[in-house]
């Protein structure tokens, strides 16, 4: 039973109860019709919004900031008027507390696409949660003048858990996690069983440090303007594992696993598809002791290719960790740029860079590189290889720098 049906049922029972009571009294009792609350003002004390009406419960008429704990209970429906939004400030928290039977609905006027700002989570409070929430129509404009528009915006030093929720109808992106290609923080604390649909641009735009939180094929992505999960580069420290999603990743910044003394271990699992924007790639960060493993299968290889007509950078191993591995990986159209700036060191797969590298490469397809297929830099150990096929590479399929 959906939220509106439940609301109608409860109201009918209430009215029936009133009429039953009136039959025992001399004067009839008219049922009280609840009214929509028009709300404007910051939240500075603990606050709970409740399911008050059969339909709309609250109408937000201005931008406001949450500076205390706020809970939105199951079944509540909230409308934001044109261009307005809410910021969860550093001292606040927002727990949208829907259930499977009575989801919370948050939308713009008339359910229109891109008609209000959305929600910007700035605080790192564990109580920041979207649970069984239908959130739609945000992303009309930015909160701070930066060109970021989304239903849900998450600050890099913030925190948010999203589960069993539908994020739809944004004027741009569904979820936008802040950060650049040198960041390693992870503000996405949990993510499960979500649906992203009909967002004008991307369902999710994020940074590499958050990708291990995504739950793969358990979440659904449909009818978005760009059917990709964007990774705007970034660093991964510690141990991370990326799994197959129902749509490809679009990589628009360099991904580094570890960097100097910071160790990063990254495993990319069977069926993961990644499309790289021109001149961006993925590497073990220079002088790092961590590993990079791409582990596909014969039926579900890992796929790395370009996201545009031009070539992308490629894969680079700058550590000698014995766990470095490419197994059942199809690597296509890399070799656009060197990882070190040395123009000759360009390939689909580069072994070594600023620091020595090594890897095992097995059952892989190395195709259509703009330069070499595999390039082994001076001072690096040639890879252990088996079952590797080549085609269409502009220079030699395999080259060891003297």
> How far, in Å, CA of 69 to CA of 65, rounded?
11
pTM for the structure as a whole: 0.90
* Tokens (6 digits) for 326: 């490419």
- pLDDT tens for 161-195 read 999 999 999 999 999 999 876 677 899 999 999 99
* Tokens (6 digits) for 76: 């509540």
Q: For the chain, which ranges sit under pLDDT 50?
A: 1-26, 29
Burial of 386 (0-12, 13-18, 19+ CB in 10 A): exposed
Handedness of CA 295, 297, 299, 301 (dihedral sign): positive
Cα dihedral: 318, 288, 306, 336 (round 10): -40
* Tokens (6 digits) for 351: 């072994």
Name 188's Cβ contacts closer than 8 Å, sequence gap at least 6: 154, 160, 161, 162, 177, 206, 210, 213
> How far, in Å, CA of 298 to CA of 275, rounded?
20
- The number of residues in the chain equals 402
Instruction: Count CA within 13 A, CB hemisphere, residue 394.
Output: 13
In three-state secondary structure terms, 262 is strand
**Percent of the chain, pLDDT > 90?**
85
pLDDT at 342: 79
Q: In what order do the strands lie in the sheet with 160-163?
A: 47-49, 69-73, 93-97, 129-131, 160-163, 188-192
Q: In 10 A of CB 217, how many CB atoms? A: 10
Closest C-alpha among 196, 194, 197, 170 to residue 108: 170
> How far, in Å, CA of 230 to CA of 399, rounded?
33
Closest C-alpha among 148, 121, 118 to residue 136: 118
Backbone angles phi, psi at 18, to 5 degrees: -65, -45
The DSSP result for 188-252, as a single string, is EEEEES-EEES-SS-SEEE-GGGGGG--GGGSEEES-SS-SEEEEEEEE-EEEEE---SS-EEEE
pLDDT at 285: 85
In three-state secondary structure terms, 260 is coil
pLDDT at 147: 87
Q: Which DSSP helix (H) or strand (E) runs through 5?
A: helix 3-22
Q: In 10 A of CB 104, how many CB atoms? A: 26
> How far, in Å, CA of 334 to CA of 308, rounded?
11
Instruction: Count CA within 13 A, CB hemisphere, residue 43.
Output: 25
Closest C-alpha among 12, 201, 2, 252 to residue 103: 2
- pLDDT tens for 50-84 read 999 989 999 999 999 999 999 999 999 999 999 99
In three-state secondary structure terms, 110 is helix
- pLDDT tens for 367-393 read 999 999 999 999 999 999 999 999 999
pLDDT at 32: 56
Cβ-contact 309, 316 below 8 angstroms: no
Q: In 10 A of CB 54, how many CB atoms? A: 18
In three-state secondary structure terms, 276 is strand
pLDDT at 180: 74
């Amino acid at each position: 039973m959906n939220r509106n049906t439940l609301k109608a049922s409860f109201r009918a029972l209430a009215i029936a109860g009133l009429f039953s009571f009136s039959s025992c009294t001399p004067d009839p009792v008219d049922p009280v019709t609840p009214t929509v609350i028009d709300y404007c003002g910051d939240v500075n004390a603990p606050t709970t919004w409740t399911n008050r009406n059969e339909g709309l419960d609250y109408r937000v008429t201005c931008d406001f900031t949450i500076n205390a704990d706020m809970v939105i209970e199951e079944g509540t429906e909230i409308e934001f008027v044109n261009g307005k939004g809410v910021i969860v400030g550093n001292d606040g928290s927002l727990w949208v507390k829907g259930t499977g039977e009575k989801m919370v609905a948050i939308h713009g006027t008339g359910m229109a696409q891109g008609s209000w700002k959305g929600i910007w989570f700035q605080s790192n409070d564990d109580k920041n949660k979207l649970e069984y929430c239908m959130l739609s129509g945000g992303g009309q404009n930015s909160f701070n003048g930066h060109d970021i528009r989304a239903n849900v915006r998450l600050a890099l030093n913030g925190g948010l858990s999203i589960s069993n929720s539908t994020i739809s109808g944004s004027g741009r992106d569904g979820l936008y996690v802040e950060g650049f290609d040198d960041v390693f923080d992870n503000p996405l604390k949990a993510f499960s069983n979500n649906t992203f649909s009909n967002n004008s641009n991307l369902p999710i735009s994020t940074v590499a440090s958050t990708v291990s939180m995504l739950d793969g094929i358990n979440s659904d992505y449909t009818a978005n303007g760009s059917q990709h999960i964007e990774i705007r580069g970034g660093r991964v420290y510690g141990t991370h594992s990326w799994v197959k999603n129902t749509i490809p990743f679009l990589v628009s910044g360099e991904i580094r696993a570890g960097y100097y003394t910071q160790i990063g271990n990254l495993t990319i699992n069977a069926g993961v598809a990644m499309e790289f924007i021109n001149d961006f790639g993925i590497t073990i960060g220079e002088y790092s002791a961590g590993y990079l493993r791409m582990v596909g299968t014969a039926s579900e290889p890992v796929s790395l290719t370009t996201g545009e007509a031009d070539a992308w950078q490629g894969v680079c191993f700058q550590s000698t960790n014995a766990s470095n591995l490419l197994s059942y990986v199809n690597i296509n159209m890399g070799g656009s740029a060197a990882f070190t700036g040395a123009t000759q060191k360009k390939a689909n797969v580069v072994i070594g860079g600023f620091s020595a590298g090594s890897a095992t490469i097995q059952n892989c397809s190395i195709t259509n590189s703009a330069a070499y297929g595999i390039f082994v830099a001076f001072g690096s150990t040639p890879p252990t290889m088996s079952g590797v096929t080549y085609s269409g590479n502009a220079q030699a399929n395999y080259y060891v720098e003297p």
